[in-house]
Structure 1
Amino acid sequence: MAIEYRHMFVVWSTFIITCFLIANKKQPPISPIPLMMNHGERIVLGGKVLESISFVNRESENQLRNVSRCYRQVQIWRGRNIPDAPQTNECPGLNCGIRLLKDTSYETMKHSDAIVFYHTSPINWEELQKRRRIHQAWIFFSIEPPPLTKKSVVPPLELDRIYNFTMSYRPSSSIHSPYGIYTPKSHIKGFKANRNWAKEKTGLVAWASSRCIGRGLHLQTWRRREFVETLGKHVSIDVYGNCGNKTCERHSDKCGSILGSHKFYLALENSECRDYITEKFWVNALRYNSVPIVYGPPREDYERVAPPNSFIHLQDFNNFSELVDYINLLDSTDTLYNTYFKWREKGSIRFEGEGKVLRPPFYCKMVNTLLENGNFSAEPKVERQHPSIHDFWTKSCIEPSGFPHDF
């Protein structure tokens, strides 16, 4: 019995001593983790390439939290020529955030990963080319049509493909920045299927515009005001803004309610350019529940992005007589008028516009595009063909004939 106790004492003593030695064994100090983010995708820890932070062990993960993450500096070529204060934002889902600056400083340009050339930017192409960093991405950006784009922003033909990417209202842009978005849904909360939209209206047709002349910033590529004046001889039109005698505080909900009290809204663009569909359609009409009577781009461009059967296109008619007859028909037939709101049972709209596009969260889309194309690497993943800015932009306006262009 004594032998058994002596044996158990030896075993436990050995176990306790071993645990003590292990616990007090001198460990080599943890060296700082060398961190490198390549393309905004890979992480290198201690020489080992990791495809995602999720594969880092808990100890490494804790150390990662103490290491400053990467930020990609994006300069919007707009405003003063002295360095601007940066806005730093995280980009959810990306390994890199964004440091955004708005100026025309060459000092800022020297440290920027990408330059966004705004549609009114002053540009000296010779000077810019001298200072461009290797693999620095150049992006053309405009939410205005070609006639309202400053000529210097479009490079001469010999530099036609100098931009890496395009960002505009056109769906074919490298980075799409639309005025509005329609999203189909299976169920719309609170929608009343039997609502009589016509019953709520007190006016017939509304139009709001501040651009009434065809010069400078108020350039128009067709006789829009003359068209409205001619139509007004046949149907009642309330005109708000600089072009009329009624007042309406622009961009206010009160003004929207006033416009929405009309059955129809003249969502007439100032330029006849492909895909140019602005807040006139998305906000002044659809958001405030008027049926938009549209003109600018051709019908197929509206059909590509608009809710189904939500608008009336002027090119569906041959003359004023046909248009006026149809307006009067809808005005006198509630069931037919209400068909233009059936889309609300199946989807919703969201307005984007310049106010959202020029904020850092939207530019995270650009950071993502640049990361995907390897623009932050000495060896880009894809040797892609730069877009022809003349084909994409300058040639995007059309010269239609017939109604309503000719009247």
Structure 2
Amino acid sequence: MDVRSIKNQILYCTLFVLLLLFYCGWMKRAEFPIFYYSNSTWNVTILIWYWPFGDTLSLTGDVCWDLYKIPSCRLVDQHSSFPSADVVVFHNRELIEGSQKLPTDLPRPQGQRWAWMSLESPAHNGNLQKFANIFNMTISYRRDADVTTPYGQLLPAEPEGNLEDSHMNKTSLVCWVVSNYMNHHKRTQVYNELKAIVPVDVYGRWSQKPLSSDDLLPTISRCYFYLAFENSVAKDYITEKLWYNAYKGGAVPIVLGPPISDYNVVAPNHSFIHVDEFASVQKLGEYLQRLAEDRKQYEEYFNWKKHWKVKVHGDWREYMCKICLQYNNLPQHKVYSDLEAWDKNA
């Protein structure tokens, strides 16, 4: 056998061994994909610079996929991840209170986006003028935010037969759960007028009749109507008072907040009563009395349950994961030169 033949055999053997090693490695990856699921597979990394209100939640595993079926989206909360993060999220409350600060002393990686997040109405967001030309993204309940994070939403429901009688176990005409009672609020003025016309059962810290989380919905379920009154009148500001308290509690919501057109966009048709629909609170009170006595007409306010169910949002991780759904559709070089103006335009 000549030297050339020997070299060729060595070369073929070497190639065979390399191919065999490659094949075995590939098979191992296919059999145990999680073991090889490294950071290189993440498309977007979201850094939570600090947890809103200190509500620290677990980020173990592939949170966005495991909980919300959002792929290639990693949530982290270690400051050491700052240089590699695609988005850094800052919750407004801690910034305006001064308990947290922006990391403006750190060199900001090119292309990294800073997100301003608030689920509060403009009246409670404080002075945002100092944040001019800092943020690239807004996360808010507002429909015109870069990432919209509503308090609740409708999902299609499985067709059901007859709905349960919404008159069952009703013992109160109108009820209201309130802790933050302020005389200058519009909702306070409407309440004071309404209680002079119809009985209103009030719960919460203000009335010194607080309800535990276990007692909240059962209590509301015994009321024909629930005052889903927002503490601020602002664009799209529709909170858990509608989605959770009223809809989940099984009472017809009487709403006070943004215009009725905002409610019509997100809420089921003929599922609520807006204060602005009436010429006066007197007319509203009279309508509620008549409606509670008309079983057929009252039940029509629950027909939406045949087609829809309500999902209530409240997990900060879900809000963060939603960033990944919008990330590639947002302008790369967007900067809010006047965040205050955007926020107040509500």
Give me the TM-score of the superposition, normalised by structure 1: 0.68
Give the paired residue count: 319
* Mapping 1:257-272, distance limit 5 Å: 257-272=218-233
**Deviation at residue 343 of structure 1 after TM alignment:** 0.8
Distance 1:58 1:392, change over 3 A: farther
**Deviation at residue 116 of structure 1 after TM alignment:** 0.6
| Higher normalized contact order (CA 8 Å, seq sep 6+, divided by chain length) | 2
**Deviation at residue 394 of structure 1 after TM alignment:** 2.1
The aligned amino acid for 2:199 is S
Question: Is residue 2:104 matched to residue 1:128?
Answer: yes
- C-alpha separation in 2, matches of 1:73 and 1:344: 38
The aligned amino acid for 1:279 is E
**Deviation at residue 131 of structure 1 after TM alignment:** 3.1
Q: What percentage of residue pairs aligned between the two structures are identical?
A: 26
Distance 1:126 1:79, change over 3 A: closer
**Deviation at residue 296 of structure 1 after TM alignment:** 0.9
Provide, for residues 117-141 of structure 1, a one-character-per-residue CA deviation record: whole Å limited to 9, x for no partner: 1021327988617532211111111
The aligned amino acid for 1:148 is H
Provide, for residues 174-223 of structure 1, a one-character-per-residue CA deviation record: whole Å limited to 9, x for no partner: 222111111244x433x424x43224311100000110136xxxxxx733
Q: Equivalent residue for 2:159? A: 188
- C-alpha separation in 2, matches of 1:166 and 1:58: 47
* Mapping 1:204-223, distance limit 5 Å: 204-213=173-182, 222-223=185-186
Q: Equivalent residue for 2:150? A: 178
Unaligned runs of 5+ in 1: 1-20, 34-56, 215-220, 375-381, 397-407
Question: Is residue 2:283 matched to residue 1:322?
Answer: yes
- C-alpha separation in 2, matches of 1:245 and 1:28: 79
**Deviation at residue 171 of structure 1 after TM alignment:** 1.9
The aligned amino acid for 2:82 is M
Task: Return the match for 1:280 from 241, 245, 249.
Answer: 241
The aligned amino acid for 2:135 is Y
Contact preservation (8 Å) 1:260, 1:284: no
- C-alpha separation in 1, matches of 2:178 and 2:249: 17
- C-alpha separation in 2, matches of 1:256 and 1:163: 39
Q: Equivalent residue for 1:138? A: 114
- C-alpha separation in 2, matches of 1:61 and 1:233: 76
Q: Equivalent residue for 1:6? A: none
Give me the TM-score of the superposition, normalised by structure 2: 0.79
Task: Return the match for 1:248 from 211, 215, 227.
Answer: 211
* Mapping 1:162-177, distance limit 5 Å: 162-177=134-149
The answer to which of 287-296 and 91-100 deviates more is 91-100
Contact preservation (8 Å) 1:169, 1:177: yes
- C-alpha separation in 2, matches of 1:224 and 1:94: 39
Task: Return the match for 1:369 from 310, 315, 326.
Answer: 326
Contact preservation (8 Å) 1:206, 1:266: yes
Provide, for residues 70-115 of structure 1, a one-character-per-residue CA deviation record: whole Å limited to 9, x for no partner: 34543323369xxx9983432436663414217xx5x553453321
- C-alpha separation in 1, matches of 2:84 and 2:223: 52
Distance 1:383 1:75, change over 3 A: closer
- C-alpha separation in 2, matches of 1:85 and 1:131: 28
Distance 1:87 1:184, change over 3 A: closer
Provide, for residues 339-385 of structure 1, a one-character-per-residue CA deviation record: whole Å limited to 9, x for no partner: 111111121111113xx1x12x5533223433x259xxxxxxx5454
CA RMSD of aligned residues (A): 3.4
Q: Equivalent residue for 2:343? A: 393
Question: Is residue 2:186 matched to residue 1:230?
Answer: no
Distance 1:199 1:63, change over 3 A: closer
The answer to which of 204-213 and 384-393 deviates more is 384-393
The aligned amino acid for 1:347 is W
Question: Is residue 2:297 matched to residue 1:336?
Answer: yes
- C-alpha separation in 2, matches of 1:346 and 1:86: 34
Distance 1:32 1:302, change over 3 A: farther
